[in-house]
Amino acid sequence: MRRYRVSMVMVLLGGLSVAAQADTVTMPPAPPAGLSQDHPFQDWVVACDNVRRCEAQGYPTQESDDPPVMLRLRRDAGPDAPARLSLVWGNLTADPRQKPPPQPRASQPLTLKAGTLTFSWPVPAGYVAGGDVALPVDQGGPLLAAMRQADALVLTQGALRWRISLKGASAALLKIDDLQGRVGTVGALARPGPQAEDRVPVAPALPQIEAVRIPAGMKTPEGLKASLLKAVLALPAVGERCDRMHPENLDAKALLASTEVWPVSDSQVMVTLPCWLAAYNGGSAAWVAHIKPPHALKDVRFAALPAEGAGRGRAWAWEDSASDLTLKRQPDGVLLASAMAKGRGDCVSRSRWVWNGQAFVLLDSELSACKFFSSGGEPLRLWRAQVR
């Protein structure tokens, strides 16, 4: 699965080194090893965020012709936290000319079979395509026990049939037990034992972010965009690091039209420009600048989760490389970036940041497994924080 992961960093350009700046920024603790990343196990995938809230997703084998459906298990950290099981049906097909995948019919019984276990329950009357269908609470324990022995879950509703592979399910559930400290306890998903649930660690507190409130109704002075663009183009070697600013590709009029300027304080703004654009993704370059010339451009710093194999669990990443994400500002001042690794809408990464006066601090981050399941995929949460 790791071959599809999309970089979650921004273009960082300017005069100061990223390492020197990162040392001065107050940041929440980075997540411990194993958290805030995805863990693939054959036809299953697991992710636990920084407060140990975990999710497992099981899919049909990708090489099969089985229609898309997913079994989702979510569990919060801490003693006696329940495991919540639900089903979600996908809406993508390999060929867009094909009919949409089958969806269950509302108010009709759905039957699930796993090994020797079989039970039925009605699909809710208000079900709409793509929504969750919760499994009966009293069947959660028996189903988890049956999954340890079976090789697939089979769902039927009349002539409709779906199949979820259980290859990798035991390893996926054991990973959740391990990351939440449940192995050997009576409430473990994959490897229960005699130990009491009160030995399970409580959930860590959500990181708190001191966000800078942007003054309401602030307007940028007339001509500021053109002045900032001129300052950006004067930066040393900017064209070597940002394709659309290279002299051979430079279209000053088009670049000015796509320049974005957002206030971050009474006297400073952030300026962003597109570095490259493709069919589904793009990359942005960003700086913080004073409103008045000569602007004193400095790198915009974005805290990103460390890449796999690059110190995850030890430090935040402060990358100095081209991004696969295009920045978008939301009405509340939060910055959003997303990237799509498959052309038809699956396999998506999203992150949001808030400005703390020094850097853009990560507010939340998620990704979807590349299972060609639904537009945008079904997100796995990697990180979350709270603005004070």
For the stretch 374-385, pLDDT in tens is: 888 899 999 999
Query: 200 pLDDT exceeds 70?
Result: yes
φ, ψ (nearest 5 deg) of residue 170: -65, -40
H-assigned helices in the chain:
18-22, 140-147, 169-180, 224-233, 238-241, 252-258
Highest mean pLDDT among 9-18, 151-160, 310-319: 151-160
Instruction: Give me the chain's average pLDDT, please.
Output: 83
Query: 159 pLDDT exceeds 80?
Result: yes
Does 27 or 157 have the greater pLDDT score?
A: 157
Query: What percentage of residues in the chain have a pLDDT greater than 70?
Result: 83
pLDDT band at residue 319 under the 50/70/90 scheme: very low
| Residue 79 confidence (pLDDT) | 97
Identify the weakest region by mean pLDDT among 27-31, 202-206, 228-232, 243-247: 27-31
| Residue 318 confidence (pLDDT) | 56
Three-class SS state of 172: helix
User: Which residues does 128 contact at the CB level (< 8 Å), separation at least 6?
Assistant: 106
| Residue 313 confidence (pLDDT) | 47
Place of tokens 């990798």: 168
| Residue 338 confidence (pLDDT) | 77
